[in-house]
Every structure is written in C-alpha cells, then in structure tokens.
Structure 1
Amino acid sequence: MNAITSKLPGFEFIGGKVCLDFANTVSGTREGRSQENLTGYSDLVRWSQEAALVTESQAKTLLYVAERDEGEAATVLTRARVLREAMYHIFTALIAGTQPAGIDIEALNRELRKGTTGASVMLTTDGFVWEWGKEDDALDQMLGPLARSAATLLTSDEQHLVRQCANMRCGWLFVDTTKNHRRHWCRTTICGNNVRVRRHRQRQLELETGF
C-alpha cells in the first residue's frame, strides 16, 4: 500500500488535546490487538483537516502535491507515526509513574525543533499570539502543531490530568477535566459499557459453573 491510499477510517476526538487525539489514531492497544488508522498519507491529511490543523483548501493542495511526490509523502507519514508513538509512550510512562525513554523524548524534540522554525509574535485584537511560519504545500506542516501541543501539555499543570482508558482493550488517552478527576473511560457509551457487559457475563459464568 502506498503513502496516498486511504481506507477511510472513522476518526474520533475525545482526548481534549490535539496531541492526545493524534495518539489515539491507533485503535486497540499497542500491546495487544490494534488497528492502524493512518494507512496512507491521505488519512493523515484528512485527520489533520478534521482536527482543524489544515483547512480544506490546504488539504486539497497537500493531496495534490503528495500524488506527485509519493516518496516524500511516505517519509512524512513515517515521521508522523514515529511522532505519534513517541507521544503515546511518553504520556503512558508518566501515567504509570515511570521515566519516559530518551528515544521518545528525542523523537518529540526532533519534530519540535522543526515545528518552531520561523516563529513570530503577532498583535491581534485579543492581544499577542504566536504565529508559525509554514508553506501551504509543505507535506509535513501538521507535525509542528502536534509536537507543540505535546510540549505545551507536558510543561503544563494538566500533564497530571492525562489518563488512559481503563478498558484493557482500548488504551486511548485523554485529559480528565471532570470535577473529581475520576474519569475512567475515553467513551463511556462504548468502553464503559463494554467493560460492564464483560463483567456481567463473567459473573453469570461464575454462577453457572460455580467457579
């Protein structure tokens, strides 16, 4: 399968931060059964458009450029997956109370350095804001905002509110903004219900078998 092909997966945005939503583009668990939802560069572009990292016009330009340079599109897709896995492993390590691996931190920093090139401060009606230089036809333009999102979250108080879905068959990440910070599921109607159904079936089996 080349870098342009898409299987048109359904994307969901439940993480609370765009970097966590990007980490969640793998369905299932890294340690068990999983499904890659970025099967081609077009998937990366479509996800980026749905995440508001690129406009519809920019998405069309990127797909046009990618069709003519499939080698570069494949390289960017690989970089995106490496960045995604680095962010996933960094946050899950912090959730587990362990130190993130140096290789993952370096992978994040590599994209962060590229993604902060050409930074400037702009004055708007709401005050000063950062503006990041980018070209509309740069195939990797979505990676900078993703790396900056992760860096911002890691250096904020919200880092301690990052959670992993308690469904052992899921593992998606999210920021727990509930009042008591006791959110267990990425999606209560899916993961929460699935766990409750499995627990109910297990109890029924134990009653029937006596074990």
Structure 2
Amino acid sequence: MAYQPELIGGHVALDLLNTVSWRLDPTRIVDRIATPEALAIWTAAVGLGTEPAPYERVAAVREVVYDVVLPVARGMGPGDLHELQRLLVAAMGRATPTALQPLDWPGVDPVDELVLAAGRLLEREDLSRLRECQDGDCGWLFLDRSKNASRRWCSSGDCGNRARAKRHYQRTRIGSEA
C-alpha cells in the first residue's frame, strides 16, 4: 500500500515535522519520507508540486525547524534560531515576491518553500496554540485550533484512542483486583 500522508499539524511546516513518527521512542522511530516515492507523495499532498526534492535537504530543514519549534510547544522560548535564520536568508535570496499584503515569497524549489513556510509559521501563527501530542512517545506537533484550546492529541482516533483505552484498562484492572 502506498504511503498516505497524515496532515494533522495545521500548518505545512508542522506536517513536515510530523513525517517522523514515534520520534520520542528510539525503538519505534519511523521516517515516513525516507524513500523518493514517499517524499514525492508527501510534497504533492502538501501542495509543493511533483518536482523532486532532495531528501537530505528536506530532512535537514525538518530537524532545524524541529529544534526551534519543539521548545515553544513545551512552553519554553524558541530553540536556537541561528541555523533557521541562515536557511531563511538563503531561501529568500532565491525567492521572488509575487504578492503584496501579505507579502508572499514563494521559493524556487520545494525545500525553499518549506523553509519559507517555517518562517511564516513563526511569523504569522499564534504559537500559544502550538502543542505537542500528549502521547508520551508520539512527538507530533500541531496547532490547537479548537474553540477552547483543549486538543491534547495529534489524532483523537490514534493517540487519543490509545490513551482512552489505556485509562479504561487501568480502571477495569484496578476494579477487578478489589
């Protein structure tokens, strides 16, 4: 079965970070875009076209953005911005503005588009809504756009369901031991 991207981050830069599954559990970690086919499927799914993107550059951008954004999701300040700044300056140097109000700088290749998207995430989004999935091993990030800012899991049907099943098991186990 072909790779089916899960675009639950609420922003393309977060969906890029979420191409690594089970990031917090080294025994289960999976890079979902490690093959050229999977990367092509993902870039098409997020609207970056079908132009081949070099995996090494995409993976490097992904890790730089993760290192900046994860501390924000955990309630701390941003991580080291120096490398992201370097990537943004280089991408903007290759980009040509196409729209004004808001100023839009589409990149010339998918990797530059991802770098510029990361910049837009930090510039335009309400980062107080940035969350890390509460499943202890998941590590996926998302923008909580729920009305009362109460979203806890990347996916209610996946991590959320596992958490509910675990709580149910613990309740019924404790009840049967009494």
> Which residue of the partner structure matches residue 134 of structure 2?
166
Q: Within 5 A, what are the aligned runs for 1:105-184?
A: 105-122=81-98, 130-132=104-106, 134=108, 141-184=109-152
Letter in structure 1 aligned against 2:60? V
Paired residues of 2:107 and 2:113 also in contact (CA < 8 A): no
Which sits farther off after the overlay, 165-174 or 27-36?
27-36
Relative to structure 1, the CA distance from residue 44 to residue 112 in structure 2 (aligned partners, 3 Å threshold; closer, same or farther) is: farther
- Aligned match of 1:17: 11
Deviation at 1:128, TM superposition (A): 7.1
- Report the count of equivalent residues: 177
RMSD over equivalenced CA pairs, Å? 2.5
2-side partners of 1:79 and 1:118: how far apart? 15
Percent of aligned positions that are identical: 29
* Per-residue Cα deviation, 1:13-65 (whole angstroms, up to 9, x for no partner): 111100000100011133443111122233222211111011xxxx2x53xxx
**Deviation string, structure 1 residues 72-128 (Cα, Å, up to 9, x no partner):** x7xx312211211222232220122334443xx33323332232124334469xx77
Q: Within 5 Å, give how 1:20-99 maps onto structure 2.
A: 20-32=14-26, 33-54=28-49, 59=50, 62=52, 76-99=54-77
1:200 offset after TM fit, Å? 0.9
Contact 1:121 1:128 in 2 (8 A): no
1:165, CA displacement in angstroms? 1.1
Which protein is bigger by CA-based radius of gyration? Answer: 1
Contact 1:162/1:175 (8 A) holds in 2: yes
Q: Which moved more, 1:111-120 or 1:34-43?
A: 111-120
Deviation at 1:130, TM superposition (A): 2.7
Runs of 4+ in 1 over 4 A off after TM superposition: none
SS in 2 for 1:155: helix
CA distance in 1, matches of 2:61, 2:70: 14
Q: Which runs of 5+ in 2 are unaligned?
A: none
Q: CA deviation at 1:182?
A: 1.0
Tell me the residue number matched to 1:185. 153
SS at match of 2:104: strand
Letter matched to residue 96 of structure 1: R
Q: What is the TM-score when the length of structure 2 is the normalising length?
A: 0.85
